Amino acid sequence: LIVNVVGTNDRPVINAVDNLTLKEDSGEYTKTGSVSATDIDLPEGKSLSYSLVEHPTDRLVQTEQLSGKYGYLELDQSTGTYTYHLDNTKIQHLGSGETIVEIFTVRVTDNLGAYSDRALTVTIQGTDDKPSISSASSTMTEDTALVKGEIKVTDTDTSDTLHSVSPIQTPTSSYHDSDGHTHAVLNGTYGELDLDTHTGSYVYKLTTSDVQYLNEGQSLRENFPITLTTGNSTGSSSIVGGIAITI
């Protein structure tokens, strides 16, 4: 009795793929990992090859560099070592506690063309960016009793909202309006500022009798320093600015 055993080519086995994690504004915008694979029937002197797989709608492409939405991945096709390069400018919309994930497909191929695929994930963690004040000023004439304004805030983190606007100087008084917002009343040199610390809106009441000495073309300036805080449920940040009133 003769039994002939005919071998078949086995696929490579991917044992492990290093998933990567990077963080916004960390200063470290590249991370390196590797694919670990074996092939039980790989002939001596032959080696496995590694590639990244892109799946467009009409074709299959194997490459050593692949662009993602927030960066790109480079792969050494002979060793399976890879490096992800993060474009930090593309993730500034992330806030504290937020993450996004890039997914790439790694392919390991043997000398006869048999292959195995495995997903590689790159997790990008957000951080809280400081807000900026785009507008916080009002102008009035010497005979105007009051002027209304609102602090305009910009924040690259799309999940952040205005938390508070706090005066740096000690208020002369405070109260709560019908919406439950706290107002701080601040004395200035030429008038009084009523600041809604919840929304950043304000009313400046000028003591007109104190500025009647101004001639045409002359002006005065009041400044009320503030601390402005924005953030989301997991983190916040603050900047110092000021409300400027020009008379």
What integer best gives the mean pLDDT of the chain?
Answer: 92
* Residue from 55, 80, 79 nearest 66 by CA: 55
Burial class (CB in 10 A: 0-12, 13-18, 19+), 55: exposed
For residue 75, pLDDT beyond 90: yes
The structure's pTM equals 0.81
Number of C-beta neighbours around residue 178 at 10 A:
5
Percent of the chain with pLDDT over 70: 97
Lowest-confidence pick of 47-56, 145-154, 196-205:
47-56
pLDDT confidence bin for 60, thresholds 50/70/90: low
3-class state of residue 116 by DSSP:
strand
Q: Which residues contact 202 (CB under 8 A, 6 or more apart)?
A: 148, 149, 150, 151, 193, 194, 195, 196, 243
For residue 161, pLDDT beyond 80: yes
Can you give the pLDDT at residue 58?
62
CA dist., res. 28 & res. 121, Å (int): 18
Can you give the pLDDT at residue 245?
96
User: 186-240, pLDDT tens digit by residue?
Assistant: 999 999 999 999 999 999 999 999 999 999 899 999 999 999 999 888 889 999 9
Maximum mean pLDDT: which of 42-51, 56-65, 160-169, 182-191 = 182-191
User: 103-125, pLDDT tens digit by residue?
Assistant: 999 999 999 989 999 999 999 99
